[in-house]
């Protein structure tokens, strides 16, 4: 480990020596931790980054950027659908996905960054509990889904496969540098991984290493793909997966005119309806090309933020006006470099309920996430033939098309270790009656097994 003098000299070359202003006042442990963090910074790169950020902030803000005239929907041949495809085609996609998983060619990469500011927590968002009966965290739900999809692949192909789970803890646009810096692609190559499913931590309904999505992308020969959901309404503030000047990319809702967002197809649907949910497919070969040739071409997005700091006397300050410059890249910035990009539409109630805000907000909060998961599991139970009783022993109404936004008539939580996407439940549930709450975990399954 470098000495404080060496670190100070490096920071001085970058014009950032003030970072050590109060170093002498720290206890030995925190002091060593600070020096270790600063030691990894390259002086020249740090100086250049700060200069670029300052220059970007000094420029007058760009006028509203409307790309509507250059916008086109993705070509139909580049879009698949989980719900609108015929059962035979869906089975082919699923079989191909499980085949690749069984061959150990599929990995999962979690973008676990985010400070949880809007959610109001100081720990990683993946550790959050939304209030399920099982008290499972987002991390646990995701880990159990990986384990279950491995089991399903093993059962189909008589294998003992592994789906590696890579976890990245900084901003999602830093993915490509991180893959190179930490030799992750080399590790994937050693393991024989060819296909990578990348997702964000905050979606409670995410299907990790989804065989249907993987199989669709592989059979279409895609090097890059994105799951999308139909926009709930024209002005919904989500990124749009589309083409600009013939090139696939995600366009922010603020870059599209209101008139364009309301355009309709002949059948009455929205012309631009493919909402981005940060759920992507990449081949390892594409990621290698990106890290080697294209990452340096990605332009950082500039945002001015209110950043707490300490003043010249060391007093903590919470600024009332923006005082910091945030330079970030996004994981989807690389879509433009794909040779064969595809999108795969899934139902929102099946696969997308993000956790972003505290319950004081009206949407995307712990309550909506919990309801989405429990409503999904209630639907699965009904489809498997279960019946639920109220406190008086009378059967509750069966609502197989129950919306994800409301409370289900009964509480039913199904462990991912029992079912990945609703499969295999009939043997335990068909014709049986249950009172709320039903927690269908491995222990309960043993008791219900015929």
Q: Do residues 127 and 157 share a domain?
A: yes
The answer to whether residue 33 scores a pLDDT higher than 70 is yes
Residue 63 lies in a domain: no
The tens digit of pLDDT for each residue in 306-315 reads 888 888 888 9
Q: Do residues 197 and 238 share a domain?
A: yes
> What pTM was estimated for this model as a whole?
0.88
Q: Do residues 269 and 327 share a domain?
A: yes
Q: Do residues 83 and 145 share a domain?
A: yes
Q: Do residues 44 and 99 share a domain?
A: no
The tens digit of pLDDT for each residue in 432-445 reads 999 999 999 998 88
Look up the domain containing 27 and give its range: 4-52
Residue 368 lies in a domain: no
> Residue range 381-402: average pLDDT?
84
Q: Do residues 48 and 76 share a domain?
A: no
Residue 357 lies in a domain: no
Q: Do residues 155 and 253 share a domain?
A: yes
Facing residues of 227 across strands? 344
Alpha-carbon gap, residue 261 to 84, rounded angstroms: 23
In SS3 terms, the chain reads as CCCHHHHHHHHHHHCCHHHHCCHHHCCHHHHHHHHHHHHCCCHHHHHHHHHHHHHHHHCCCCCCCCCHHHEECCCHHHEEECCCCCHHHHHHHHHHHHHHHHCCCEEEEEECCCCCCCCCCCCCHHHCECCCCCCCEHHHHHHHHHHHHHHHHHHHHCCCCCCCEEEECCCHHHHHHHHHHCCHHHHHHHHCCCEEEEEECCECCCCCCCHHHHHHHHHCCCCEEEEEEECCCCCCCCCEEEEECCEEEEECHHHCCHHHHCCECCCCCECCCEEEEEEEEEEHHHHHHHHHHHHHHCCCEEEEECCCEECCCCCEECCCCCCEEEEECCHHHHHHHCCCEEEEECCHHHHCCECCCCCCCCCCCHHHHHHHHHHHHHHHHHHCCCEEECCCCCECCCCCCCCCCCCCCCCEEECCCCCCCCCCCHHHHCCCEEECCEEECHHHHHHHCC
The tens digit of pLDDT for each residue in 328-351 reads 788 999 999 999 999 999 999 999
Q: Do residues 153 and 302 share a domain?
A: yes
Q: Do residues 271 and 399 share a domain?
A: no
Residue 60 lies in a domain: no
pLDDT confidence bin for 291, thresholds 50/70/90 = very high
Q: Do residues 83 and 37 share a domain?
A: no
Alpha-carbon gap, residue 166 to 244, rounded angstroms: 32
The tens digit of pLDDT for each residue in 69-102 reads 899 999 999 999 999 999 999 999 999 999 999 9
pLDDT confidence bin for 62, thresholds 50/70/90 = low
* C-beta separation of 223 from 282 below 8 A: yes
Q: For residue 64, what pLDDT is reported?
A: 53
CA atoms within 13 A on the CB side of 41: 25
Residue 170 lies in a domain: yes
CB atoms within 10 A of CB 34: 17
Q: Do residues 177 and 318 share a domain?
A: yes
* C-beta separation of 248 from 263 below 8 A: no
Q: For residue 283, what pLDDT is reported?
A: 98
Residue 379 lies in a domain: no
Residue 224 lies in a domain: yes
Task: Kindly report the average pLDDT of the chain as a whole number.
Answer: 91
pLDDT confidence bin for 252, thresholds 50/70/90 = confident
Tokens of residue 390, six digits: 């109220």
- Final residue of a domain: which of 303, 332, 351? 351
What percentage of the chain has pLDDT greater than the value 90? Answer: 62
> Residue range 177-200: average pLDDT?
96
Q: For residue 224, what pLDDT is reported?
A: 98
The answer to whether residue 117 scores a pLDDT higher than 80 is no
Tokens of residue 361, six digits: 């907000």
The tens digit of pLDDT for each residue in 189-217 reads 999 999 999 999 999 999 999 999 999 99
Q: Mark residue 114 as left, alpha or beta (left: phi above 0; alpha: psi -120 to 50; beta: remaining).
A: left
Q: Do residues 319 and 395 share a domain?
A: no
Residue 362 lies in a domain: no
Task: Quote the number of domains for the chain.
Answer: 3
CATH number at residue 431: 2.10.10.100
CATH number at residue 180: 3.90.550.10
């Amino acid at each position: 480990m470098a000495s404080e003098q060496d670190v100070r000299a490096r920071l001085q070359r970058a014009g950032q020596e003030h970072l050590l202003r109060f170093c002498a006042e720290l206890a030995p442990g925190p002091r060593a931790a600070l020096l270790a963090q600063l030691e990894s910074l390259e002086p020249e790169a740090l100086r250049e980054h700060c200069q670029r950020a300052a220059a970007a902030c000094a420029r007058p803000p760009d006028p509203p950027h409307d790309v509507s005239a250059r916008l086109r929907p993705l070509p139909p041949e580049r879009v698949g659908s989980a719900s609108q495809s015929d059962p035979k085609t869906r089975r082919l996609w699923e079989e191909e996905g499980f085949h690749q998983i069984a061959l150990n060619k599929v990995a999962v990469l979690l973008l676990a960054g985010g400070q949880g500011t809007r959610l109001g927590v100081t720990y990683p968002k993946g550790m959050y509990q939304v209030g399920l009966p099982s008290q499972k965290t987002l991390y646990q739900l995701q880990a159990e889904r990986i384990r279950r999809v491995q089991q399903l692949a093993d059962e189909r192909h008589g294998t003992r496969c592994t789906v590696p789970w890579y976890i990245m803890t900084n901003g999602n646009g830093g993915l490509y540098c991180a893959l190179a810096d930490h030799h992750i692609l080399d590790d994937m190559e050693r393991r024989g991984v060819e296909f990578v499913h990348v997702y964000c931590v905050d979606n409670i309904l995410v299907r990790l290493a989804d065989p249907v999505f993987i199989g669709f992308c592989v059979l279409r020969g895609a090097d890059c793909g994105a799951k999308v959901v139909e926009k709930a309404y024209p002005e919904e503030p989500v990124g749009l997966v589309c083409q600009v000047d013939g090139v696939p990319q995600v366009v922010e809702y603020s870059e599209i005119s209101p008139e364009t967002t309301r355009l309709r197809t002949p059948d009455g649907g929205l012309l631009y309806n493919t909402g981005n949910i940060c759920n992507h497919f990449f081949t390892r070969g594409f990621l290698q090309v990106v890290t080697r040739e294209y990452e340096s071409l990605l332009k950082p997005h500039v945002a001015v933020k209110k950043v707490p700091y300490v003043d010249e006397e060391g007093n903590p300050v919470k600024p009332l006006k923006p005082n910091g410059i945030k330079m970030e890249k996004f994981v989807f910035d690389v879509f433009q470099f794909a040779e064969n990009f595809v999108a795969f539409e899934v139902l929102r109630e099946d696969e997308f309920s993000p956790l972003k805000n505290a319950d004081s907000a009206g949407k995307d909060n712990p309550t909506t996430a919990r309801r989405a998961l429990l409503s999904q599991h209630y639907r699965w139970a009904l489809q498997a033939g279960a019946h639920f009783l109220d406190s008086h022993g009378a059967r509750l109404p069966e609502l197989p098309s129950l919306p994800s936004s409301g409370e289900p008539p009964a509480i039913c939580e199904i462990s991912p270790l029992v079912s990945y996407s609703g499969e295999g439940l009939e043997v335990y549930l068909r014709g049986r009656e249950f009172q709320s709450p039903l927690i269908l975990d491995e222990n309960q399954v043993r008791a219900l097994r015929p």
